[in-house]
């Protein structure tokens, strides 16, 4: 289906499988296995901002050549101002940085957009959203972390849903234009409460890849979210 966000609100809930839970030796095949997903969520970790190390721009460039599904790059890295524009220049569809990782998120967002991608802002579970509401107009997506960033397979933290609700209400009131995305612990049991809080795009790693049929898992998650009015 591959929704894009350029024309406003998504028509149906978006599912962005995280390849963090895929087989890294077979990433091309693993992306082919999620046909119908809206975005591919790519977790970039630097072992500094988070205590884990994954992949960087060379791998993202190879993934861009291997799939037509838009890449949603989640940069869990220090100094995103130095690195984020490169992902946009390479062709990533959405490039998300962490609010906690930079003193000048607006400048980074401008550089990401100037390089041709949408810009995302992510907040860790313990980071309040209020200080960032003003700057969200410089961003296209808000990624609400519902686990501590760093690892897949953790339990969903429902307390973060208030942040999604605040931002989605501002969007619905016409005061902001940002896609509300959530990441961490999303599965068939948790996706409905996130949808009810106004989330429009759902990252899911283990709930998609730790199944026999990842494409079917994507369809089922989307259907569960679609059944809930956010």
Among 147, 164, 178, 218, binds ligand DX5 (CB under 6 A): 147
150 binds ligand DX5 (CB under 6 A): yes
Q: Residue 97 corresponds to which tokens in the numbers above?
A: 């940085």
Q: Which of 30, 72, 183, 200 forms a contact with Zn ion (CB under 5 A)?
A: 183
Is residue 183 annotated as a catalytic residue, yes or no? yes
Number of residues that bind ligand DX5 (CB under 6 A): 22
| Residue numbers 12-31 binding ligand DX5 by CB under 6 A | 18, 20-21
Footprint (CB under 6 A) of ligand DX5, residues 28-67: 41, 43
Choice among 38, 43, 46, 72 that is catalytic: 43
Give φ, ψ of 71 to 5 degrees: -95, 130
Q: Give the x/- contact pattern for ligand DX5 in 188-227, rule: CB under 6 A.
A: ---------------xxxxx--------------------
User: Considering 6, 159, 183, 189, which one is annotated as catalytic?
Assistant: 183
Determine the size of the site formed for Zn ion (CB under 5 A).
3
| 46 part of the interface to Zn ion, by CB under 5 A | no
**Is position 43 annotated as part of the catalytic site?**
yes
Distance of CA 74 to the CA centre of its chain: 6
Burial, 165: exposed, middle or buried (Cβ in 10 Å; 0-12, 13-18, 19+)? Answer: middle
For ligand DX5, which is the closer residue by CB, 57 or 177?
A: 57
- Counting contacts by CB under 6 A, is residue 120 touching ligand DX5? no
Q: Which residues bind ligand DX5 (CB under 6 A)?
A: 18, 20-21, 41, 43, 74, 147, 149-154, 183-186, 203-207
Enumerate the active-site residues. 43, 183
């Amino acid at each position: 289906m591959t929704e894009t966000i350029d024309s406003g609100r998504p028509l149906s809930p978006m599912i962005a499988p995280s390849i963090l839970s895929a087989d890294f030796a077979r990433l091309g095949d693993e992306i082919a296995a999620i046909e119908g997903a809206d975005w591919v969520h790519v977790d970039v970790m630097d072992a500094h901002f988070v205590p884990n190390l994954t992949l960087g721009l060379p791998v993202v460039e190879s993934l861009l050549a291997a799939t037509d599904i838009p890449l949603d790059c989640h940069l869990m890295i220090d100094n995103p101002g130095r690195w984020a524009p490169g992902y946009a220049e390479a062709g990533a569809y959405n490039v998300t940085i962490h609010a906690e990782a930079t003193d000048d998120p607006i400048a980074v967002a401008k550089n990401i957009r100037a390089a041709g991608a949408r810009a995302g802002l992510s907040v860790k579970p313990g980071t309040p959203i209020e200080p960032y509401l003003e700057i969200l107009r410089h961003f296209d997506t808000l990624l609400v972390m519902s686990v501590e960033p760093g690892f897949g397979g953790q339990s969903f933290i429902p307390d973060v849903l208030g942040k999604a609700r605040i931002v989605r209400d501002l969007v619905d009131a016409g005061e902001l234009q940002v896609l509300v995305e959530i990441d961490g612990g999303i599965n068939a049991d948790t996706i409905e409460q996130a949808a009810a809080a106004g989330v429009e795009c759902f990252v899911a790693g283990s709930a998609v890849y730790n199944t026999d049929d990842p494409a079917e898992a994507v369809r089922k998650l989307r259907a569960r979210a679609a059944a809930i009015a956010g």
